Structure 1
Amino acid sequence: MDRRDQQGEAVTENNTGPLAPLPDDVLADVLRRLPPRGLAASRCVCKSWLAVVDTRRLLRADLLPISVGGFFMNFHNYYISEFFAPLSDGASISGKHNYLPEAGCLSWGYVDDHCNGLVLLHDYTDNGGKICCVLNPATRWLAPVPPCPLPPTEIKHTFQVKYLAYDPTESTDYEVVSVTRFGWVNKPGGCLYDTSRDAVYPEIEQSEWPPSVCILHVFSSRTGQWEERSFARQGDSMGTVSGMRHWPGEQRNAASWRGVLYVHCQTDYVMRISLSSDKYHVIKPPPGIEVEHYPQFYLGKSTKGIYCASIKGRCRLQVWILDESGCQMEWVLIHDRDLSKWLLKHKLEYPRPCANYGSKIQGRWALQDINYYYDDHNRDHNMEELAEEKIEWSVQAYEDEKFTWSSDDECGCYGGHMDILGFHPCKEIIFLSESITRGLAYHLNSSKVEVLGNIYPAGYENELGNEQLLNSSFPYTPCLVTQTANGRS
C-alpha cells in the first residue's frame, strides 16, 4: 500500500539520502553503532532500513533493563546488602560482590542506589578506608568513583547523598549526583539550636530550601571527574532549612525517567533535576501524606512514568502517579487499598518474625543470606540448601484467589507491618515486605497478591527485636549493555 502525505498525494521511498547508496552490510555496520533508542527510531525512516534492522536483529531488547532480577536490601545493623532474587537466577547473579577492588575473600558492599542495571555502592578496604564504586552485577563490570568534593556552604550539620543517573537507551555513560541532606541538631533544654561551637545560625536556618540556584556536584563517567554545577529552580521552594531537619528519614531513593532524575528529599518533596538543561523543580508530596514517626514513602519508576507509594498505618497501601502534562506537576491517586483482611485470612498476623516461623516460608524467590555466610563461619551449609529448607507452603494457592477488601482505616487485629520494596519497571506491580518475613508481589490492576518467598535473614533473630528493621530496598533490573568508560570489564 502506498504511503501518502498530508495532502493525500502518494509518496515514494527516499533513496536519495547520503546513506542510500550504501550496501546493506555497510548500512548495518553504521546502524549498530547507534544507541538502542536511536536504532529503534531508525526503523521508521524507510522500509529498507526497517528490513536491515529487523533481519539482522540489531535491536537487542534482551540487553535492556526490562525485568526485575531481584532486590538489594539493607537491614538495620547489617553492614552488607542482602540480595533477594528468584531461585532460578541465583547461579547467574550473585549479591556477593567478591570482585570489588581489594575485597579479597571478605567482601563488603553496601548498596546506596540503583539505576537501570547499574549499582552504586560503598566498600571498605582492609585498613578501614572507604571506597565508592559503580558496578554492573550482571556483567561484573565496575568502575571506581573518586571522593566527592564538599560543597561550599555555611549551613551546619549537613551531609551528602549520592544518586545514579543512567539510561542505556541513550548512552553507556552515567552520572552520579550528590544532593545535600540535613541532620538533626542538638536541642539542649528543648531549644532548637545547639549552644556549642558548632551551633547553627537562625538566619540561615530560616532561609528557603532548596535555594533559587542550587549548587550540586555531578560526576560524569565520560570525563571521570566531579564538576560543580548550578541548577536554577523553576517554581517555588519547599520550605526552610530548619524544616528539613525534622525529617531525617532512612530511605530517600531516586528514579530516572526520560533523561530526568527525580530525588526523594526530606519533607517528602521530590526534586526533579534536568541534567541536560541545568534546571530543577520542586514537586510537593501527595495530599494526605501525614507526618508519622516512621513515614513510609517510596519513589520509583514503572510503566507510565514516576510513581510513589505510601503505607498508611500498618497495611493500607496508597499509590500515586506523577502527572506532568499541565503547568503544575501533581500526584494523582490511582490505588488505595487496606490489605488487613487478606493478611488475616491467610494467618499472616505475626507481629514479628522469629527463627522457627521465618524458616517455613516458601516461594520461588529466596534471600541469599550474604551476611550469614560472610566470614564462612557457616560454610558447612550453603544458600541453596537453606532455601530448600524453607519450602513448605504453596504459592499458587494465593495467586488467583478472590478476597474482600476492608474499608476500615485501621487494620483490626493485624499486628505486623508492611514495607515497600519497589516497583516493577514494565508492569504495574508493587513489591512489598510483610513484617520482614515474606516478599509479596501486589498487582495494582487486579489486586492479586503473590507470595514470592522468604526475606528474613538467617541469624537475624540474634538482633534485638526493636532493631530488626528493613532500612532500604532497591529493585534490581539486569542490564547487559556493555560499559567501557573509566572501568574494567
Structure 2
Amino acid sequence: MATGSMETALMSDPTAKLPDDLLVEIISRVPYKSTRCCKCVSTRWRDLIAHPDHREKLPRSTLAGFFYKIYDLKRRPPDSHGYLSVSGTGAPGGIQYFGELEDHCYWDSLSFLSEYESLQILDCCNGLLLCRARKSTDPETLDDPKTLDYVVCNPATEKWVTVPATKWSWLVDSACLGFDPAVSAHFYVFELVPDIAWVPSCAFLSRVLYLCPDNNSVAAVDVEGNCRIIPIPTSHDAPDRPNVYASQGQLYLTIQGASELSIWVLEDSSSENCWTLKLNVSHLRLFGIEYSSSEQYYGVISAHPEHDVIFIIKGFRLWYRPEKKLFSYDMDSGELCFICDLPWNSTCPYLSYVPLFSESLADGH
C-alpha cells in the first residue's frame, strides 16, 4: 500500500524525484510574482521557498529603485550615476558612494569593477546592468580597442562578465541588454547602429528586443538578429518619441500627445493590428490646472513589472526653476502619488532595477 501511494505521488508530481537544491534552482529563475504562486503547489514547495537558507537565492522583491545619469560637469565626473530607492532597502550591493541625499545615492564606480577607470551604465534588464567600461581615460588611448569593454554585472551578487567591443562599439551611442532568467541564463547585448543613435527606452520579452526608432513604429529585433517593424496604433501630435516598457509579461507602449497620455498593450507580436488601448488620460486630469505645457513637462520613465502602475517624472522647462519630481500613477484607480524630489541634474535614461539573487553570472569573474 505504501509503495502504491509513492508511485501515485510520483505520477501526480513529476518534481518529487528532484533534490531540494535543484528544485530551488529552478524556482529561482521564475519572476517574484510566480514564486508566490509556487508556494501553493504543495507543502514541500511552500517549505522550500520559506526556508531561511533559500531566501538569498529566491527572488525576494520586485521593483527596488531606479538608476539614472547625473549631468553636472562642475561637481561630478562625466560618467557619474545615481540610484533612487523606492523600496526602502537602500542601494544595491557593490556601490561605492560619492555622496548621499536622503534616498538618493551617488557614486563614481561599482566597487567590484575597480580595474576600470570609467563606467557608463547603458541599460538594466531583470537585475543585470550593462555598462560601457574603459580601462584608461587617457585621451591618447580612447581609440584603442583594448581599453574598451562591455561589462554585464549583477550588483546584488557582485558577479560580472566582459563582452569584447566590436567594430561598431566606437561609433554607437547606445546599447541594450536582453536577459530573462525565467527563460535562459544567457544574456544578449544589442548594439544600436549610428543611424538609430539614441532611444529613450527598450524592452526585452520572449527573446525579442523592442524599441521605438521613430514616432511611427516599434522595431522588434530577436536574438538571431532578425528585425521587423510594427506600426504604432495611432498617430500623435507631440515631438517626443513613444516609449516601450515590459510589464507583467506584456509590452506597453506609451504615447504622450499635446493634451493626453495613452498607453497601449501589444496582445500579439506577430500581428501588426493587435494593440489594445489600456489607458487614455488627459494632462489636466493627471496634474490638474497647475500643469502648463509652456512651462512644465512630464514623461513616463517606466512601468512596474508586476502591477498596473507607471512612473512619471514632472519638471519645469524654466532655467530658474530646476525642479524634478517623481510620481507613480495607478492605472486602475487613477491615483497619482508623489514619491520624491529628484536631483535637478538627473537625466535619462531612468533604468528600473529588480534585484536578482540567483548566481546567473557564476561562471564569470
Q: TM-score range by the shorter chain?
A: 0.7 to 0.9
Instruction: Name the TM-score, length of structure 1 as normaliser.
Output: 0.56
Of residues 291, 295, 304, the one that matches 1:424 is 304
**Kindly tell me: are residues 282 and 167 of structure 1, through their superposed partners in 2, closer, same or farther at Cα, counting changes over 3 Å?**
same
Residue of structure 2 in register with 1:452 after alignment: 339
Deviates more, 1:300-309 or 1:122-131: 122-131
Residue of structure 1 in register with 2:113 after alignment: 101
| Within-5 A mapping of 1:195-206 | none
Contact 1:102 1:125 in 2 (8 A): no
Instruction: Name the TM-score, length of structure 2 as normaliser.
Output: 0.72
RMSD (CA atoms): 3.9
Equivalent AA in structure 2 for residue 319 of structure 1:
I
Query: How far is the alpha carbon of 1:182 from its aligned partner?
Result: 0.4
Contact 2:242 2:253 in 1 (8 A): yes
Contact 2:123 2:129 in 1 (8 A): yes
Matched, 1:477 2:354: yes
Residue of structure 2 in register with 1:57 after alignment: 49
**Kindly tell me: are residues 33 and 90 of structure 1, through their superposed partners in 2, closer, same or farther at Cα, counting changes over 3 Å?**
closer
Contact 1:296 1:312 in 2 (8 A): no
Residue of structure 2 in register with 1:4 after alignment: none
| Within-5 A mapping of 1:365-380 | none
Residue of structure 1 in register with 2:277 after alignment: 333
Query: How far is the alpha carbon of 1:420 from its aligned partner?
Result: 1.9
Alpha-carbon distance in 2 for matches of 1:20, 1:419? 46
Query: How far is the alpha carbon of 1:421 from its aligned partner?
Result: 1.6
Alpha-carbon distance in 2 for matches of 1:341, 1:29? 51
Equivalent AA in structure 2 for residue 427 of structure 1:
H
Residue of structure 1 in register with 2:253 after alignment: 308
Alpha-carbon distance in 2 for matches of 1:73, 1:118? 15
| Within-5 A mapping of 1:207-356 | 250-275=198-223, 279-290=226-237, 292=239, 295-303=240-248, 305-313=250-258, 316-324=260-268, 327-340=271-284, 343-344=287-288
Deviations 1:168-199 (A, max 9, x none): 1233321212232407xxxxxxxxxxxxxxxx
Query: How far is the alpha carbon of 1:484 from its aligned partner?
Result: 3.2
Matched, 1:165 2:45: no
Equivalent AA in structure 2 for residue 149 of structure 1:
K
Matched, 1:34 2:26: yes
Matched, 1:112 2:122: yes
Of residues 139, 146, 152, the one that matches 2:157 is 139
Alpha-carbon distance in 1 for matches of 2:260, 2:71? 24
Query: How far is the alpha carbon of 1:422 from its aligned partner?
Result: 0.7
Contact 1:308 1:320 in 2 (8 A): yes
Deviations 1:60-115 (A, max 9, x none): 698338621111123556532222223832255546333153468xx743221111
Equivalent AA in structure 2 for residue 475 of structure 1:
S
Alpha-carbon distance in 2 for matches of 1:75, 1:81? 5
Deviations 1:405-458 (A, max 9, x none): xxxxxx57x62100222110001111011115110001111110111101124x
**Kindly tell me: are residues 89 and 103 of structure 1, through their superposed partners in 2, closer, same or farther at Cα, counting changes over 3 Å?**
farther
Alpha-carbon distance in 1 for matches of 2:180, 2:276? 26
Deviations 1:348-385 (A, max 9, x none): x5xxxxxxxxxxxxxxxxxxxxxxxxxxxxxxxxxxxx
Contact 2:260 2:283 in 1 (8 A): yes
Contact 1:162 1:176 in 2 (8 A): yes
Alpha-carbon distance in 2 for matches of 1:416, 1:120? 32
Query: How far is the alpha carbon of 1:261 from its aligned partner?
Result: 2.4
Contact 1:81 1:109 in 2 (8 A): no
Query: How far is the alpha carbon of 1:278 from its aligned partner?
Result: 6.1
Contact 1:28 1:52 in 2 (8 A): no
Alpha-carbon distance in 1 for matches of 2:45, 2:306? 24
Contact 1:181 1:266 in 2 (8 A): no
Deviations 1:122-181 (A, max 9, x none): 233444444421111222222222112349xxxxx9747421111112333212122324
Contact 1:443 1:449 in 2 (8 A): yes
- SS of structure 2 residue aligned to 1:90: coil
**Kindly tell me: are residues 38 and 334 of structure 1, through their superposed partners in 2, closer, same or farther at Cα, counting changes over 3 Å?**
closer
Residue of structure 2 in register with 1:179 after alignment: 192
**Kindly tell me: are residues 163 and 268 of structure 1, through their superposed partners in 2, closer, same or farther at Cα, counting changes over 3 Å?**
farther
Bigger-Rg structure (1/2): 1
- SS of structure 2 residue aligned to 1:89: coil
- SS of structure 1 residue aligned to 2:26: coil
Deviations 1:172-231 (A, max 9, x none): 321212232407xxxxxxxxxxxxxxxxxxxxxxxxxxxxxxxxxxxxxxxxxxxxxxxx
- SS of structure 2 residue aligned to 1:67: coil
Q: Where in structure 1 are there 5+ consecutive unaligned residues? A: 1-11, 152-156, 184-247, 350-410, 461-468
**Kindly tell me: are residues 28 and 304 of structure 1, through their superposed partners in 2, closer, same or farther at Cα, counting changes over 3 Å?**
closer
Equivalent AA in structure 1 for residue 311 of structure 2:
F
Deviates more, 1:89-98 or 1:250-259: 89-98
Aligned length: 320
Deviates more, 1:27-36 or 1:476-485: 27-36
Residue of structure 1 in register with 2:101 after alignment: none
